[in-house]
């Protein structure tokens, strides 16, 4: 009888996490194998750290990350790209994924992020406000409107009645940051976490209107996951106390 129960539980893993509870699924050492995680570009540093923690706590486990703009990732997933977990930089792109029937369960909000301005070190253009980004002669780079950081920038633009004229709109927030750090732009609008990662390569200029466009980050196990147990473990790690500590240290805020 015990052997039969073990077989039934093992067969149920792909459907509902097996016969154990959600708490069992996040117990260190309880899972192994491989998973692929599609995650917003702004999560690269924190998720890489959490991936290392996942492997340390679960011998035999490995994780591969694909970081890009959330909208690009959703497009890839809806076109059939294989993955086990998706983490978005906003709820809008997560809604697209769930509406497509790709989520295995309800997404979990695990962090929030806020915009800031980044300039070349020392802020040579003297930018002190969001409105200054519209000044003639300022080479501004922002995220494209379909990307979460771009949608948030547009919200601030509308709320402040500021008419921005960026020289380019990028497909991810890291692309915006790279344009500024490489000297191809005078300023860019990114998340506070990206400015923190850049360190002294940029000067960050905060602006109060950023509070009008705070982005919430959700994460979910995907219906097509081939390793539901490990995917559930990673989601639990990200949304749990250890994940929260890593995210807060990087500048994210609680959801």
- Which residue numbers belong to the known binding site for molybdate? 42, 70, 173, 191
**Burial 180-215, CB ≥16 within 10 A → b, else e:** bbeeebbbbbbbbbbbbbbeeebbbbebebbeebeb
Q: Which of 182, 109, 191, 95 is nearest to 143 (CA)?
A: 191
Q: In whole angstroms, what is the distance from residue 4 CA to residue 19 CA?
A: 13
Query: Which three-class secondary structure state does DSSP give residue 42?
Result: helix
User: Sign of the C-alpha dihedral, residues 228, 234, 238, 241?
Assistant: positive
The phi and psi torsions of 65 (rounded to 5 degrees) equal -110, 145
Q: In whole angstroms, what is the distance from residue 204 CA to residue 181 CA?
A: 12
Helical H runs in 58-164? 70-78, 91-99, 148-159
Which tokens hold the place of 55? 């492997």
């Amino acid at each position: 009888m015990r052997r039969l129960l073990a077989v039934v539980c093992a067969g149920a893993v792909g459907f509902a996490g097996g016969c154990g509870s959600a708490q069992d699924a996040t117990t260190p050492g309880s899972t192994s194998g491989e998973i692929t995680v599609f995650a917003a570009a702004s999560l690269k540093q924190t998720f890489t750290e959490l991936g290392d923690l996942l492997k340390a706590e679960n011998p035999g486990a490995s994780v591969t990350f694909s970081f890009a703009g959330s909208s690009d990732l959703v497009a890839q997933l809806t076109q059939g790209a294989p993955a086990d977990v998706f983490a978005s930089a906003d709820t809008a792109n997560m809604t697209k994924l769930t509406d497509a029937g790709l989520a295995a369960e309800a997404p979990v909000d695990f962090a929030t992020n806020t915009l800031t301005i980044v300039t070349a070190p020392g802020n040579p253009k003297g930018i002190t406000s969001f409105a200054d980004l519209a000044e003639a002669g300022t080479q501004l780079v922002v995220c494209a409107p379909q990307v979460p950081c771009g949608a948030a920038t547009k919200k601030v633009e509308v709320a402040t009645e500021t008419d921005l004229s960026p020289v380019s709109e990028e497909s991810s927030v890291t692309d915006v940051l790279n344009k500024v750090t490489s000297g191809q732009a005078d300023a860019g609008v990114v998340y506070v976490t990206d400015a923190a990662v850049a360190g002294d390569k940029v000067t960050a200029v905060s602006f109060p209107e950023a509070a009008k466009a705070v982005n919430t980050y959700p994460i979910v196990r995907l219906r097509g996951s081939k390793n539901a147990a490990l995917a559930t473990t990673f989601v639990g790690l990200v949304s749990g106390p250890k994940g929260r500590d890593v995210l807060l240290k990087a500048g994210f805020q609680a959801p």
